[in-house]
Amino acid sequence: MGNWNSTESSQPVAPKVLSRKTSIKKSGKDLNFLAKVKRAEDARKEAIAARTHDSNKENQQLLKKIFKRLDPCVSKVDAEVRGEMQVSLKYDFNNSSLLVNVIKCRDLGRNSITGKTAEPFVTISLHPNEGETKRTSVSPNAQNPIFNEKFSFPLEELSLTDSLLVLKVVDHDLVNDEIEFLGEVIVNLRDINFLKTPVHTAWYTLQAETDLDITGELDVELNYSLPHTLSITIHQAANLKQTHPQRPPSAVVKVGLPGMEKVHVTEVKPDDANPSWSETFTYEVPQEELEMRYIVLTVIDQSSPDDALLGHVVIDLDNLDVEHGYRGSFPLADMSHTDRLRSRWFQTTQAQEFREALWAHSFFNYPNILFQNHTGRKVIQLTCDKAGGSQATLRLNNGIPTV
């Protein structure tokens, strides 16, 4: 028989047994792996939560901006005037001239007569300087016209503090050969520091037309008697505007505190540009409310068919010295189309309602159009009937509000 070479054994082989040391080492590796997985999962959840928090925070900021624009306490809504204008201003100190760049307008209203898209242009002038009125070219059928036209006005540096730049948007109706007012912007040049900001560029909301020819001043005295009596004395007016070419105005003064129903009216002083009244009116105003109240005085000409406005005076009461009172002369101005002439007491109440509504919208992530990822360019428009028909327009670029 041949030779046999075999490694097999007739004895059974016992299974290999791991030592206690090897078993613990393997278990430790498993625990480390599980810990890494847990840490990675926690980090992922934290990142998602952070992104969600940042996204919600950004969306709440958008909501705040919209609420601010909807709030009727913040801005006056004018149904006939809408849109904005972008203007760039620079003062040339070497040549004593104001440089104006009318860049563009957006969201202009339509012609109220024809209902067609406007064919607008912009007129530019300085007030009270009796200089030339300049104008841009006409932009046909444009709700968002682009002009990019530059103009220069001679203006001494000392005159910057008392000069107004007036820009009016008008529609040229070629069919009827008429000009229709679409809105205006009035820039008070004293509010711009051209040394600190050599080039001032900004968007301005178009407003209804303002009467810049109003003149004169009103002499008023204020006194306060504890516990809660505010006395307003109208002494006299001086240099009132003449609304009729052949006679002085017949002026009266209306006295009111916005938020309070009572309105007082002085006697009529016929045909007198410098009338004197010395009439006193009282209101019951708790001392703690003074910082949230102000007085609105309106002077009108009752001899004109439409009770022509001779000017407004607004007096804040937050700094009134209740012990000594105050007397002074206040310049008259047309404030018809400035921010709402409403009491800050009412504004505070209204603002609180808006804050509560804002919190509710933020908590429930509503409206859905805001609480989502915003990519690209979007325009969001909302209207609030309870805010007097206030409208808000927000432009987004990848979720970031733009002017």
- Residue 306's pLDDT is 79
Q: Do both 317 and 386 map to the same domain?
A: no
Number of domains composing the chain: 3
- Find the domain containing 143 and state its range: 84-205
Q: Do both 240 and 332 map to the same domain?
A: yes
- Out of 205, 239, 273, a domain closes at 205
Least confident of 1-5, 135-139, 273-277, 307-311: 1-5
pLDDT above 50 for 1? no
Percent of the chain surpassing pLDDT 90:
42
Q: Does residue 288 belong to any structural domain of this protein?
A: yes
Instruction: Confirm if 216 and 240 have CB atoms less than 8 A apart.
Output: yes
Give tens-digit pLDDT for 11-61. 555 555 555 555 555 566 666 767 777 777 777 777 666 555 455 555 555
Give tens-digit pLDDT for 130-139. 678 999 999 8
pLDDT above 50 for 141? yes
Q: Do both 271 and 361 map to the same domain?
A: no
Give tens-digit pLDDT for 156-176. 999 999 899 999 999 876 555
Q: Do both 103 and 192 map to the same domain?
A: yes
CB neighbour class for 305 (10 Å; exposed up to 12, middle 13-18, buried from 19): exposed
Q: Does residue 4 belong to any structural domain of this protein?
A: no
Least confident of 76-90, 161-175, 187-201, 265-279: 76-90
Q: Do both 183 and 295 map to the same domain?
A: no
Q: Does residue 18 belong to any structural domain of this protein?
A: no
Q: Do both 328 and 288 map to the same domain?
A: yes
Q: Do both 179 and 268 map to the same domain?
A: no
Q: Do both 188 and 118 map to the same domain?
A: yes
Q: Do both 301 and 320 map to the same domain?
A: yes
Q: Do both 113 and 193 map to the same domain?
A: yes
Mean pLDDT for the stretch of residues 238-255: 92
What DSSP designation does 244 have?
Answer: B
Q: Would the CA dihedral through 193, 196, 201, 202 be positive or negative? A: negative
Give tens-digit pLDDT for 286-307. 999 998 888 999 999 998 877 8
pTM for the model: 0.56
- Beta-carbon neighbour count of residue 323 at 10 Å? 8
> Which residues, including other chains, have CB under 8 Å from residue 373's CB and lie 6 or more apart?
55, 399
Mean pLDDT for the stretch of residues 309-327: 92
- Out of 205, 226, 257, a domain closes at 205
Q: Does residue 49 belong to any structural domain of this protein?
A: no
Task: Report the DSSP pairing between strands 199-205 and 251-256.
Answer: unpaired
Least confident of 71-75, 143-147, 273-277, 369-373: 71-75
Q: Does residue 382 belong to any structural domain of this protein?
A: yes
Q: How confident is the model at residue 65 (pLDDT cuts 50, 70, 90)?
A: low
Orientation angle between helical segments 20-70 and 344-363, nearest 10 degrees: 150
Q: Does residue 278 belong to any structural domain of this protein?
A: yes
Q: How confident is the model at residue 269 (pLDDT cuts 50, 70, 90)?
A: very high
pLDDT above 70 for 235? yes
Give tens-digit pLDDT for 82-120. 889 999 999 999 999 999 999 999 988 876 555 566 789
Q: Does residue 62 belong to any structural domain of this protein?
A: no
- Beta-carbon neighbour count of residue 16 at 10 Å? 5
Q: Do both 261 and 321 map to the same domain?
A: yes
CB neighbour class for 303 (10 Å; exposed up to 12, middle 13-18, buried from 19): middle
pLDDT above 50 for 74? no
Order of strands, edge to edge, in the sheet holding 97-106?
146-154, 97-106, 84-92, 199-205
- Out of 183, 205, 227, a domain closes at 205
Q: Does residue 159 belong to any structural domain of this protein?
A: yes
pLDDT above 70 for 9? no
Q: Do both 172 and 281 map to the same domain?
A: no
In CATH, what number is assigned to the domain containing residue 248? 2.60.40.150
